[in-house]
């Protein structure tokens, strides 16, 4: 019997947040002998207009029947939807009946608004991670992850990360081998070269934060220095304690984590796009020695600098299609 995958829509949703998982499950279901049934849901049913102006037909939540996995998509409309009492009541009811509860991008705001992320680790688009943390302080926001599983709840980062999420769900259901074949069919990475981190986003760390934008620019220009909390607090004209609290609240991560991510972003770009020796990159960006940078790369990207350089230069052979 096929598993029912329900995607929850609302006005001004992001269409790729829906279509990416839909295509993944369509192909996965076909390869897995009709393993999936796909339905589109909304609070009241009927056509729902995306932010692109394209409408998709939905059925009302009460008419959906049994759902195995519910995926709440993101989009500009999430700002209103996360405050819509009807939408939140609908999600609370569904959350108690599904085997897996998931979100793509800012869909996490709806799950948080419904209270189902309280005390759980979650992620969202890197630009909105700080906002999620401020609006919902009971949620443990990890802003640099592609997707996170906490129990039966899965959350993912922005837009195309919905495909990564779908592939992970397919792998859990039907095995790694089939999920890898789905990725090959879709011409996407089964596992991104950068691992499970939103590494490309962190060059723009700070998002809409006016308070710490000048500091982040200063950090980028001084990555070779010892950037302690005391140093950063002095640059911000704040006490170390107040600075650490304010920075973590605003940015969704500690100052030390932010410095490491900024170092990693610049280091990754140099590793992939320059012939500069790994040792010199490590020294010039404040890692001090290659081993420390290697460990940081493994934590953030899932592979060492040398492997990322080889992959970028095409030394590693791609997986042959079946």
Active site residues: 105
Q: Is 320 helix (H, G, I), strand (E, B) or coil?
A: coil
Determine contact, residues 51/17, Cβ cutoff 8 Å.
no
**Torsion angles phi and psi, residue 144, rounded to 5:** -110, 20
Determine contact, residues 113/82, Cβ cutoff 8 Å.
yes
User: Tokens for 148?
Assistant: 């996170």
Give 142's contacts (C-beta < 8 A, 6+ positions apart).
121, 122, 123, 148
Give 244's contacts (C-beta < 8 A, 6+ positions apart).
229, 233, 254, 255
For residue 100, give Cα distances in angstroms to 30, 148, 169, 257.
21, 13, 9, 30
């Amino acid at each position: 019997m096929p598993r029912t995958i329900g995607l929850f829509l609302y006005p001004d949703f992001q269409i790729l947040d829906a279509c990416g998982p839909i295509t993944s499950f369509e192909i996965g279901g076909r390869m897995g002998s009709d393993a999936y049934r796909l339905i589109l849901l909304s609070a009241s049913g009927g056509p729902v207009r995306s932010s692109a102006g394209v409408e998709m037909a939905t059925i009302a939540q009460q008419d959906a029947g049994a759902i195995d996995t519910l995926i709440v998509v993101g989009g500009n409309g999430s700002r209103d939807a996360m405050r819509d009492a009807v939408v939140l009541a609908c999600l609370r009811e569904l959350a108690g009946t599904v085997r897996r509860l998931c979100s793509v991008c800012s869909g996490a705001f709806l799950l948080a608004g419904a209270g189902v992320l309280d005390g759980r680790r979650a992620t969202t688009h890197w630009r909105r991670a700080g906002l999620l943390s401020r609006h919902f302080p009971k949620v443990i926001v990890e802003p640099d992850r592609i997707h996170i599983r906490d129990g039966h709840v899965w959350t993912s980062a922005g837009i195309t990360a919905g495909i990564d999420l779908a592939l992970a769900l397919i792998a859990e259901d039907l095995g790694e081998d089939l999920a890898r074949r789905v990725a090959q069919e879709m011409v996407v990475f089964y596992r991104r070269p950068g691992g499970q981190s939103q590494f490309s986003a962190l060059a723009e760390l700070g998002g809409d934060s006016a308070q710490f934008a000048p500091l982040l620019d200063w950090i980028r220009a001084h990555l070779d220095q010892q950037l302690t909390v005391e140093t950063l607090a002095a640059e911000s004209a704040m006490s170390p304690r107040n600075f650490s609290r304010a920075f973590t609240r605003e940015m969704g991560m500690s100052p030390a984590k932010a410095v490491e991510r900024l170092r990693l972003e610049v280091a990754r770009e140099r590793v992939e796009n320059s012939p500069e020796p790994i040792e010199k990159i490590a020294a010039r960006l404040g890692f001090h020695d290659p081993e420390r940078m290697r460990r940081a790369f493994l934590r953030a990207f899932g592979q060492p600098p040398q492997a990322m350089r080889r992959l970028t230069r095409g030394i590693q052979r791609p997986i042959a299609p079946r």
